[in-house]
Amino acid sequence: MKIRVFFHDKCFDGACSAALFSRFYRERIRADVEFQFTGLVHRAGALFDESQFDGDENAVVDFKYSPSPKITWWFDHHESAFLTPADAEHYERSQSNKKFYDPDFKSCTKFLATTTAQRFGFNAKPVAELIEWADIIDGAMYQDAKTAVEVAHPAMRLTMVIETAPSADYGTRLIELLAVKPLAEIVETPWIAERIPPLLERHRKSIEILRERCEYKDGTIFFDVSDQELEGYNKFIPYYLYPECTYSIGLSRSSFRNKVAVGSNPWAPAIPTVNLAKLCERYGGGGHARVGAISFDPAHREEARLAAVEIVAELRRAGR
């Protein structure tokens, strides 16, 4: 029996959610199954390819809702979980006991652990560290920006590895380890450990690039690194460089999208008041109230830059 698990790719919470789902399924549903993991990314256009829904059961974790009848399980915590009002209505009508949504959770991993414990009697205690760090990382619950940027803990180093995974197979192998091994042991695995020194050097360089590129005004930072290979840069660097800021907007580019990342400073002196998920939804993106993003076609760099400039202007007005 094959279970296909779709998860938010290049995301620590996404990988942890996929790992936790596989552990839960084996322990509480059925043990003699084969798991296949498929990463999903936010991009312009269709997010799902229904031809990939080829499992005997298909699960989606930490990603938007699909109304496809081929999707058996769904767990998500994003405020922008539904692509359309029709999708939200479909979810409400379905009344499925295998599809769950709660935007009040900081991480999908914690949501999945809590829900499966309550509904199916799953024991998540053996992976409590995984759940705790998924909540810290996805909820930006670090003590301060310096801690977030120092990336000293194994979970934070694994986040760098996951966000820059060189292949789908690499990510799958890592997910399989997350389901069964302590984080400190995983980070010492040779094929993972060898990637960390160059990633730390890349991280140090990204701090200097953002130091040069950040434009700070009226409580809001803007930077454009779309000419650099910086997909997956540490999103807390702007708040480390400008602890007094409230919001940051970054424009970056990868092979499959131009991305406008919109965030708020978890340690800001002024409490953020703008719902960033709603703001990003106006441009076809989404996220959470305190952090969101918009994806544009790789050929539409100017469209992405225009959106970024408009958002910067709106947030700077809000900060005056």
pLDDT tens series, the chain, 320 aa: 999 999 999 999 999 999 999 999 999 999 999 999 999 987 666 678 888 999 999 999 999 999 999 999 999 999 989 989 999 999 999 878 999 999 999 999 999 999 999 999 999 999 999 999 999 999 999 999 999 999 999 999 999 999 988 888 898 999 999 999 999 999 999 999 999 999 999 999 999 999 999 999 999 999 999 999 887 789 999 999 999 999 999 999 988 889 999 999 999 998 899 999 999 999 999 999 999 999 999 999 999 999 999 999 999 998 77
Given the structure tokens 């940027």, which residue do they identify? 149
pTM of the model: 0.87
For residue range 234-243, what is the model confidence (pLDDT) as tens digits? 999 999 999 9
CATH 1.20.120 fits 2-191, yes or no: no
**208-319 in CATH: which number?**
3.10.310.30
- Tokens representing 31 are 């043990």
Number of H helices, E strands in the chain: 13, 11
Tokens of 215: 């434009």
Task: Return the SS3 of 56.
Answer: coil
How buried is 11 (Cβ within 10 angstroms: 0-12 exposed, 13-18 middle, 19+ buried)? buried
Q: How many residues does the chain have?
A: 320
Domain boundaries of the chain, sorted by first residue: 2-191, 208-319
CA pseudo-torsion sign 180, 163, 131, 67: negative
- Give per-residue pLDDT as tens, 75-97: 999 998 998 999 999 999 987 89
